[in-house]
């Protein structure tokens, strides 16, 4: 619908012009918000994927570190036991 027709339909005058201008601005902002929301959703999905990958990699690193420490502790305990037997 034509903005001037809407202005005439709601009675004309400055208040009608302001109301129509605000409605047009509201629609423009609403459309922009939809676009930004879609973009933010995809960014959030990517950040979630990165965070999950980092968590997985950290868990794998912790398991490898614990395995190495367990092996080193075993070797140290064996050396201490040999020294104690002397």
**For 27-70, how does the pLDDT look when each residue is reduced to its tens digit (9 = 90+)?**
999 988 888 887 788 888 899 999 999 999 999 999 999 999 99
Q: How many CA atoms lie within 13 A of 46 on its CB side?
A: 6
The stretch 4-28 carries a mean pLDDT of: 88
The stretch 82-86 carries a mean pLDDT of: 85
Output the pLDDT for position 8.
84
Closest among 77, 57, 76 to 65, alpha carbons compared: 57
- Whether the predicted pLDDT of 1 surpasses 80: no
* Distances 51 to 46, 67, 71, 81 between C-alpha atoms, Å: 9, 24, 30, 44
Rounded Cα gap, residues 77 and 70, in angstroms? 10
Global confidence as pTM: 0.47
The stretch 14-18 carries a mean pLDDT of: 89
């Amino acid at each position: 619908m034509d903005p001037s027709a809407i202005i005439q339909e709601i009675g004309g005058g400055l208040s009608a012009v302001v109301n129509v201008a605000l409605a047009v601005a509201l629609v423009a902002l609403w459309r922009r918000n939809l676009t930004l929301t879609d973009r933010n959703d995809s960014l959030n999905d990517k950040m979630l994927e990165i965070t999950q990958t980092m968590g997985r990699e950290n868990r794998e690193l912790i398991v490898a570190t614990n395995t190495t420490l367990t092996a080193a502790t075993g070797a140290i305990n064996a050396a201490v036991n040999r020294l104690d037997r002397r």
